[in-house]
A and B are shown apart, each in its own frame.
Chain A
Amino acid sequence: MVGPAATLTPLARADGSASYQCPSTGSNILGSVNAPVELPGRRDALKPEEATVEVFVKPGTAPAGVGERYVEGIIKGVLGRLILGRERGYPRRGVVVTLATVGGDSVGRGDSYLTLLPALLHTALLALLSASVPLSMTFSATVLAVSDSGEIIREPSTEQAAAAKSLHVLAFSSKGHLLLNESQGAFDFETWEKVHQRALAICHGTSAIGSDGDVAMVEDVDGQPLEGTIRETIEDQVHRDYAWKIDAV
């Protein structure tokens, strides 16, 4: 499986930015973060003790609608728990996250945003890292579809997702906690447990779920865990940023 391709800080004006290309859906998300910024227009909404997180999702080829507001709420929920909004300089300020779909299909009205959600989440995380916003942890997310025959498909295409019986997005923190779960479509709890296990393997590799016979096979299918991909992207960036220092040593 081809891993996602990500670039940190492709933009000049925003405080932090990231571009993320998801191989399976073909979607390309560009994200920017401005933090900490003043939000004078929303003085009433500002919190006296911590930062206000704002997320804006802009679809590629359609006007934004209720679906975007909903997915913004989900992303805000995850990031709100991640961003250390009480660190110095952040209270009463805003952390503005802007995500635009600049390639690939857009989501129609009333359609599920779930297939795009992991890409949006990863872009937001990388953009936050690029903007050096203090975070309590990182995470990785994946989307899985369960087909009519009960087969679990990793990162389904739009058609596969439409035909699937149920669709699940799971995000795990770098420490292995289940941070986010969004499941829709008919399923029972046993199915979800299988999905959960598979998702954990995708995000964290198989070491996290112990070592019985089946597990080794799973690793071959899924390749490098996502957590590693995210980590490598950041390591590369840090390497580049500190090239002067490393060379000097």
Chain B
Amino acid sequence: MASAAPSVPPSLTLPPSQFARLQPHAYLLAHLSPPASSNQPSIRANGRATSQFRVTSANTGSLTHTNGSAVVRVGDTTAVCGVRAEILPTDDIASWSVSHSSSSMNKRRKLTNPAQKPTQEEEDPEDETHIQQLNLLVPNLSLSTGCAPGFIPGAPPSALAQSLSHQILNLLHSTRLVRAEDLRIWYQPPSLGQEDLERHNESEQMDVDAERGEEVGKDKEIKAFWVLYIDIMIISLAGNPFDAAWAAVLAALRDTKLPRAWWDVDNEMVVCSDAVSESRKLSLRGLPVASSFCVFEADAAAGWRAVIIPDAEEEREIEESARKGIQRRWILADPDGYEEGLTQERVCIVVDKEEGTGKTVIVKMEKNGGWAVDGKELKALVDISAQRWGEVKHILEQC
């Protein structure tokens, strides 16, 4: 393949690996558009087809000191995620005893209101406001030393790590993946006179599902919250960190078990049970899966040459005519580090499927850094992402 490129003098032959370093753009281009005479199919330099993802594997529960953990490998990109749950007593929350008399914040007060009892399946409006306002989910992503060349020890978190952390936090909030109900620790004061009965009940009513009758919901009070510290370490970075990190978060949260916790009146503190049998898993909402793409342009100078850029309409015509002849750009799924270095335009789509109907729901769609991807291309990418959803679901269910 290397000898097919024009930039190499005929007398000198180079092994492909060196050619890849010297002329990365030409190297990838030569793979994607092989000369017609060679009869070779268009393929990426890493041997994948354009819409093919790397081999993905997941493993959960490997870290013993966390409440849930997962290792996800997407090709050579490896993300480790550990979820650690800490108790946050409501006394320590400055804004807890504060209510705003105006409309929006009133809900918090209603909690102590007898009429309000948390229901599980109904969409509780304050459900995620608790998670968001009190910061109950704290993801932090670090690109560890040596995960890729250029990551030196002792450096502050890079802009990439910070923005990935934010993306994960934002996605956790917007997908409402974790239910706030799972993170609440309740207290039910015993009613006088029925001491024994209530003692017995006390163990049950901590079952936060609140399946019990109305009179129990009466003075139920939130005494503390679980805060989930979600730490993600990218131990090897070979492109596309977001997909791997998000899959690791998802797998770790699916693996997370919280011990049974209740408020001990005598000691005025939250006490946890150490019986494994009493701990319970988080019940997550859906299974959003992220797929990233990048756009490779045949013209290496497309990004910077001061030329008159054709109108979108004209561009579409050019695109049509190009279909017969030479292709000018390729959308590559799950780019590796080599490909990321050669491309500017990025697309990231997170999809989920409704349970039952199987309808594809997009929960996040981002594209930036270019103008090759428009409505039509995005539609095709959503379909590819929906396919990928099936694969990842299968992988996560296996582990």
Contacts and interface: CB of A to CB of B under 8 A. Distances in A.
Judged by CB atoms under 8 Å, the answer to whether A and B touch is yes
Interface of A: 50, 65-67, 69-70, 72-74, 77-78, 80-81, 84-87, 109-112, 134, 136-137, 159, 173, 175-189, 192-193, 196
Interface of B: 104, 132, 135, 159-160, 162-163, 165-167, 169-171, 173-175, 303-306, 309-313, 315, 344-346, 352, 359-371, 373-375, 378-379, 382
Contacts of B365: 181-183, 192
A-B complex: 9 closest residue pairs judged by Cβ atoms: A177-B371, A176-B312, A69-B162, A77-B368, A70-B163, A70-B166, A66-B166, A183-B365, A77-B369
B contact patch SS: mixed
A137 B367 contact: no
Contacts of A189: 360, 362, 378-379, 382
A233 to B, nearest CB: 22
A80 B369 contact: yes
Given A184-B171, A192-B365, 11 more contacts: A72-B159, A77-B346, A81-B344, A110-B132, A110-B169, A177-B315, A178-B367, A178-B374, A181-B367, A183-B366, A187-B361
Contact of A177 (B175, B352, B368, B374): B374
Given A81-B369, A182-B366, A176 B313 contact: yes
A19 B268 CA distance: 54
B151 to A, nearest CB: 13
A192 B313 CA distance: 20
A188 B163 contact: no
A77 B344 CA distance: 8
Nearest to A72: B159
Nearest to A44: B150
6 contacts: A134-B306, A178-B367, A178-B371, A178-B374, A183-B362, A189-B379
A137 B309 contact: yes
Contacts of B364: 183-184
Nearest to B360: A188
Which among B132, B166, B315, B359 has the highest number of chain A CB atoms within 10 Å? B166
A140 B39 CA distance: 45
Given A73-B159, A110-B132, A136-B306, A180 B368 contact: yes
A242 B311 CA distance: 29
B363 A87 contact: no
A137 B170 CA distance: 31
A111 B344 CA distance: 27
A187 B362 contact: yes
B169 A66 contact: yes
Contacts of B375: 178, 193, 196
A74 B371 CA distance: 14
Nearest to B312: A176
A175 B165 contact: no
Contacts of A81: 303, 344-345, 369-371
